Amino acid sequence: AVCPFTTLLQALLTEYYYILVGKEDQKKEQEKLREKPEKTEENELLLASAANEQAVAEELADSLSSCSESEANLTVKAIPTTADLMHAITTFRATVDNKFTELSSKITAMQTTLATVTGKVCEMEDVLNDQGERITALESLCKELLKNQDLHHKKLDDLVSRSRRHTIRILGIAEGTEKGRPQDFITDLIPSILGKDNFASGVLVDCAHRAPRPKPAVGGRPRPFIVRLLYCQTRDLIVRLAAQTGTIQFNQAKVYIFPDLSPDVLALRRRFEDVCKRCRAANLHFGFLHRARFRVTLNGETSTFDKPEETKNSFSSLPTEFFQRFIYFKNRIE
C-alpha cells in the first residue's frame, strides 16, 4: 500500500511536469501581453493565472529541493508505468476469473443439491398422499367396525340376558346348608320361605349351584346360589313374591332373592341408585323394565325413565339423603 505522503508527492510531480511542459508557451503568451498593455478582463485573467502558476512552480521547486534524494527516488519509483498498469489489470482479471469460476462451481453444486432435495420432497409428497388415502380408508373401516361391534355387543348382551331369563340369585344362605345336594335343597327352600300355597305344583329346578368363587372362611360372607328354573313363569313368580314379602328369614338369617342379570344391565340400573333410595324412603312403588327402564308410581301416575337425568323434575319433592337416613333409622326403631 502506498502511503498518503507518496501519493501527494506523485500528484505534485505530475502537476510540475505539466507546468514545465507548458512553461515556454506561457512565456510567449506573457510577452505578447506585455507588448499589448491594454488592460482587458481576459488579459488580467491570463496574467493572474500565469502569476499563480509561477508561484506554484516555485513552491514545488522548494518542496522538492527540501526532500532528500531517497524520498525523491521513492516518489519517482511510485509513479506506475503502462506496463505496471497492464500487469495489475491482468492480475486483477485473473483473480476475478478465478473467483467467478469458484462461485460458478458452488452454484452448480447448490443446484444439484436443490434438485436432489426437490426430488425427495416430491417423493415424500407422493408417499404422504398415498398414506392420507390409506388413513382415510382405515378410518372408514374403523367406523364401520365400531358400528358392527356395537351391534354385535347389543346382540350378545341380548343373548346373555335371554340365557338368564330363567335364572335367579339367592343370597344369605349359610355355607354347607345344602349338604352337597343344592338342587334338592332349593326345591324345598323356595316353597318354605315364600309359601307352599303359591306353588301348588311344586318348583321345578333345572340346576342349582353356588357362585363359582373360592369358598369363604368360617364366618365369612356366604356365596350366593345361582338357580336355573325350568319355566320363566316360575322365575317371575318367585321374584314377584320375594318383592311383596319384603324381609325373608331362613335359619334366623335374612335371605334375598334377585333376578340374575348380566353385568351390562346391572351397570345401567346402578345409574338409578340414588333415585331408588329416595323412592324407597318415600315408600313409592318402583321397579325396572327390561333392560334398564326405571318405572315408578307417583301420585297415582306411573312413569318410565330411560336416564337418571330425566327424573330430576319429577322427584324434586322427594326426601334428600339426610331425610332418607332419618326415615331409615326411624323405621328400625319402630
Please check whether residues 201 and 268 belong to one and the same domain.
Answer: no
Q: Are both 231 and 270 inside the same structural domain?
A: no
Which tens digit of pLDDT belongs to each residue from 207-217?
Answer: 999 999 898 98
Show Cβ contacts of residue 9 under 8 Å, excluding neighbours closer than 6 positions: 67, 71, 75, 78
- Listing DSSP states for 218-230 in one string gives TTSPPPPEEEEES
Cβ contact 286:272 at 8 Å:
no
> In angstroms, how far is CA 316 from the centroid of its own chain?
42
Looking at residues 17-32, what average pLDDT do you find? 58
The model's pLDDT over 235-257, given as tens digits with 9 standing for 90+, comes to 999 998 998 887 888 988 899 99
* pLDDT at 33 (0 to 100): 54
Q: What is the pTM of this model?
A: 0.51
Q: CATH no. for residue 207?
A: 3.30.70.1820
Task: Give the total number of structural domains in the chain.
Answer: 4
Burial class (CB in 10 A: 0-12, 13-18, 19+), 261: buried
Count CB neighbours of 162 within 10 A. Answer: 11
Residues 236 and 301 in one domain: no
Q: Which amino acid is at 194?
A: L
Residues 148 and 194 in one domain: no
Amino acid at 82: T
Range of lowest pLDDT (13-27, 97-111, 183-197, 205-219) = 13-27
Res 238: pLDDT: 92
Q: Given this model, what pLDDT does residue 97 score?
A: 85
Q: Is residue 85 part of a domain?
A: no
- Domain span including residue 125: 101-163
The answer to the question of residue 91 being in a domain is: no
The domain that holds 272 is classified in CATH as 3.30.250.20
- For residue 72, the model assigns a pLDDT of 46
Is there a single domain that holds both residue 169 and residue 233?
Answer: yes
Same domain, 169 and 201: yes
Q: Is residue 292 part of a domain?
A: yes
User: Would you say residue 263 has pLDDT above 80?
Assistant: yes
57 and 108 belong to one structural domain? no
Is residue 86, in this structure, part of any structural domain at all? no
Percentage of the chain lying above the pLDDT 70 cut: 69
Is residue 280, in this structure, part of any structural domain at all?
yes
Does any domain span residue 40?
A: yes
94 occurs within a structural domain:
no
Mean pLDDT of 188-203: 89
- The pLDDT of residue 149 is 92
Q: Looking at 260, 278, 294, which one is the last position of a domain?
A: 260
